[in-house]
Amino acid sequence: MWEFLKEYIAQPDTIGAIAPSGRYLASAMADSIDFAKARCIVEYGSGTGVFTREVILRKKPDTVYIVIEQNGRFYEMLRKQFQRTPGVVLVHGDASDVCGFLEEQGFRHADYIISGLPFTSLPEQVSRRILSGTRKAVGTEGIFTTFQYTLLRKRFLEEYFHIREIRRIWRNLPPAYILNMKPSDNLVAPIS
């Protein structure tokens, strides 16, 4: 908790929250994944690993799980916890490079991408690069799920994805929305 707050004070826009998510939000995020079918799952912005732990508990051992975290301190915390977990690939990098990370693991597309990224506070061009990469990374069949504290970026996300469902998770501090999305044929934003 204290580590998280320190990182937020140093980089409020990229961390985007003063504390890690709670376990009810983690469980609801993982509910977006069909673990029986998933061959490759990606997570963006794992922080201290709240969602990561939940996905590892539920995933099949042979499902590849690529965990991308940009912050050096959080990446080290993830490494200490999960570096020996079968099927888990920890990446100290940028979510916008997701297609390259998938390729390195022998995948063209991810079946599921879950995100803890703070799209409300990230600079617009950074968010656009990430969403454009994500759109390519999920191909035509993958699912992209993100949580947000507000719906301020709903229209923005709809430039890239069709929103299938929005769930409100009250048992989190602060309460959060989970947006579950699929690629859309009627895209507004170009995919670079």
Ligand X SMILES: C[S@@+](CC[C@H](N)C(=O)[O-])C[C@H]1O[C@@H](n2cnc3c(N)ncnc32)[C@H](O)[C@@H]1O
Where on the chain is the footprint of ligand X (CB under 6 A)?
Answer: 14-17, 20-21, 44-47, 50-51, 68-71, 74, 94-95, 116-118, 130
Least distance to ligand X, CB of residue 186, Å:
26
Helix axes 2-10, 72-82, angle to 10 degrees: 150
Find the shortest distance in angstroms from Cβ 128 to ligand X: 12
Residue number, 119 or 140, with CB nearest to ligand X: 119
**What is the closest distance, in whole angstroms, from the C-beta atom of residue 127 to ligand X in the complex?**
9
∠ CA 76-82-88, nearest 5°, is: 115
With respect to ligand X, which residue has the nearer C-beta, 150 or 162? 150
For the bound state, the minimum distance from the C-beta of residue 73 to ligand X, rounded and expressed in Å, comes to 9
Of 36 and 94, the one with the shorter C-beta distance to ligand X is 94
Exposed (0-12), middle (13-18) or buried (19+): which is 176, by Cβ within 10 Å? buried
Complex with ligand X: residue 1 or 36, whichever CB lies closer: 1
CA atoms within 13 Å, Cβ hemisphere of 145: 25
185 phi and psi angles, rounded to 5 deg = -80, -20
Nearer to ligand X among residue 173 and residue 191 (C-beta): 173
In the bound complex, what is the minimum distance in angstroms from residue 148's beta carbon to ligand X?
Answer: 10
